[in-house]
Amino acid sequence: MKSPHTSPPSARGPADHEVRDQIVAAATEHFSHYGYEKTTVSDLAKAIGFSKAYIYKFFESKQAIGEMICANCLREIEADVRAAVDATGRPPEKLRRMFKAIVDASLRLFFQDRKLYEIAASAAGEHWQATVAYEERIQNLLQDVVQQGRLSGDFERKTPLDETAKAIYLVMRPYLHPLQLQYNIENAEEAPAQLSSLVLRSLSP
Amino acid sequence: MKSPHTSPPSARGPADHEVRDQIVAAATEHFSHYGYEKTTVSDLAKAIGFSKAYIYKFFESKQAIGEMICANCLREIEADVRAAVDATGRPPEKLRRMFKAIVDASLRLFFQDRKLYEIAASAAGEHWQATVAYEERIQNLLQDVVQQGRLSGDFERKTPLDETAKAIYLVMRPYLHPLQLQYNIENAEEAPAQLSSLVLRSLSP
């Protein structure tokens, strides 16, 4: 969508979405070195060589840039999780891999991109749209896996589907929520296997 | 145990443990108004009318007083949890009530004694002895309940007991860990029932 403040693109100028992507890429680079909380839009403008006014043409605030970066990070995690789920046909194994992929991908973000993790943590703490949507998509994926297991006969069908999916999501949530993950790192190695086993026992027909 | 710096009690003076209890009671009162992090031992000494040197006779640091207060809070929560477990004879119901009592008692501490909660949060963040011991006692209680359910025939016996108890503990932990609880408050009303049901399905013989 085009912002009303954007001037019409010249015949040779970059399209709006390309400029937005450039700003997001440069901001990701900058935040990952200097952190999100302490950087202002002025700092960012100076560092990436655009004027502050130019950045404000495309993003209404630092948080709007942060949301975009956060959304990109969460999309990457989600892609890993979906790939793990799709890599096997058996629903019980899908569930195990889903849990493990969530923990692995979230820990990778936590340890490798510590400064970007800070953005995700702000996002989760302040209920940004990007994290709310991410949590919803993970819940939907989980419900799909449970439903596949019901159809294949691997999982019980007595409990209402949404109740089952919601409860399993509550078990997973401490490991995908960035602010909670930091308190579960000592368990992060063994927890996915132990919790998956418990969940699978709860699903047995 | 007596500290080596403690003078021998006079015939009419209070016993050491009485003085310690007095200091802890006064400090609990003070911290619950002014907070733990911002208060120094000097502030505390002034506020409760003892000399700083006198307080240091009984506690080697502010943290040592904080640990004692924290241990008392956790003992109260634990007493509530044990009372809830003992109030019924049926192991599945014990498990449900245990989970609910943990969440209720932890939330009460969180909302009613916000300043004391700050101490528990420091304690959990820094792995104080009091919280480590509390987590161990809750794990043991949980294992006892699972074992009772195995003996009564309510719970399955195929999975090794320690594996079962550890996994259930991992499910409960986000609700008894003070620093994590704050991120689960929106779920705290319904989560105990939903998670207990999932856990009980996982335990069915």
A175: distance to nearest CA of chain B, Å?
10
A178: distance to nearest CA of chain B, Å?
10
The structure tokens listed for A140 are 């939907």
B63: distance to nearest CA of chain A, Å?
21
For position A11, what pLDDT does the model report?
A: 54
For position B79, what pLDDT does the model report?
A: 94
Q: Which domains does chain B have, with CATH numbers?
A: 16-60 (1.10.10.60), 64-203 (1.10.357.10)
User: Distance between CA A53 and CA A42 in Å, rounded?
Assistant: 9
Banded model confidence at residue B88, pLDDT cuts 50, 70, 90 = very high
Structural contact between residues B27 and B69, judged by C-beta atoms closer than 8 angstroms: yes
Banded model confidence at residue B2, pLDDT cuts 50, 70, 90 = very low
pLDDT single digits (tens) B96-149: 999 999 999 888 877 777 777 777 777 777 777 888 889 999 999 999 999 999
Q: Is the pLDDT of residue A6 over 60?
A: no
Q: Is the pLDDT of residue A3 over 50?
A: no
A139: distance to nearest CA of chain B, Å?
15
Tell if the CB–CB gap between B171 and A202 is shorter than 8 Å: no
pLDDT single digits (tens) A156-180: 999 999 999 999 999 998 888 777 7
Helix (H/G/I), strand (E/B), else coil: B97: helix
Buried-state track A152-168, b at ≥16 Cβ within 10 A, e below 16: eebbeeebeeeebbbbb
Q: Is the pLDDT of residue A94 over 90?
A: yes
Structural contact between residues B178 and B106, judged by C-beta atoms closer than 8 angstroms: yes
Angle formed at CA B108 by CA B103 and CA B111, multiple of 5 degrees: 120
Alpha helices in B13-61 (DSSP H): 16-34, 41-48, 52-58
Q: Considering only residues A198 and B9, tell me which one the structure prediction assigns the higher pLDDT.
A: A198
Tell if the CB–CB gap between B167 and A202 is shorter than 8 Å: no
What count of other Cβ atoms lies within 10 Å of the Cβ of residue A100? Answer: 17
Would you call B139 an interface residue with chain A, using a CB distance cutoff of 8 Å? no
For position B137, what pLDDT does the model report?
A: 94
Banded model confidence at residue A130, pLDDT cuts 50, 70, 90 = confident
Q: Which of A17-21, B56-60, B113-117, B198-202 has the lowest mean pLDDT?
A: B113-117
Tell me which residue has tokens 């400064």: A115
Average pLDDT over residues A124-133: 79
CA of residue A205 relative to chain centroid, distance: 32
Among B131, B181, B194, B197, the strongest candidate for a mutation testing the A interface, having the largest count of A CBs within 10 A, is B194
Average pLDDT over residues A39-68: 89
Q: Which of B124, B156, B194 sits opposite A167 (nearest CB)?
A: B194
Would you call B180 an interface residue with chain A, using a CB distance cutoff of 8 Å? yes
User: Distance between CA A70 and CA A133 in Å, rounded?
Assistant: 11
Average pLDDT over residues B66-95: 92
Q: Considering only residues A29 and B79, tell me which one the structure prediction assigns the higher pLDDT.
A: B79
Q: Considering only residues A27 and B2, tell me which one the structure prediction assigns the higher pLDDT.
A: A27
User: Distance between CA B165 and CA B144 in Å, rounded?
Assistant: 9
Average pLDDT, chain B: 86
For position B164, what pLDDT does the model report?
A: 97
Buried-state track A73-83, b at ≥16 Cβ within 10 A, e below 16: bbeebbebbee
Residues of chain A with C-beta less than 8 angstroms from the C-beta of B199: 198, 202
pLDDT single digits (tens) B13-41: 678 888 888 899 888 888 888 888 888 89
Tell if the CB–CB gap between B159 and A201 is shorter than 8 Å: yes
For position B12, what pLDDT does the model report?
A: 60
User: Distance between CA B205 and CA B203 in Å, rounded?
Assistant: 6
For position A200, what pLDDT does the model report?
A: 97
Q: Is the pLDDT of residue A29 over 90?
A: no
- pLDDT-above-70 percentage for chain B: 94
Average pLDDT, chain A: 86
Q: Is the pLDDT of residue A90 over 80?
A: yes
- pLDDT-above-70 percentage for chain A: 94
Q: Is the pLDDT of residue A147 over 90?
A: yes
User: Distance between CA A159 and CA A145 in Å, rounded?
Assistant: 15
Banded model confidence at residue B11, pLDDT cuts 50, 70, 90 = low
Tell if the CB–CB gap between B201 and A203 is shorter than 8 Å: yes
- Count of alpha carbons within 13 Å of B173, Cβ hemisphere only? 28
Banded model confidence at residue A2, pLDDT cuts 50, 70, 90 = very low
Residues of chain B with C-beta less than 8 angstroms from the C-beta of A195: 167, 170-171
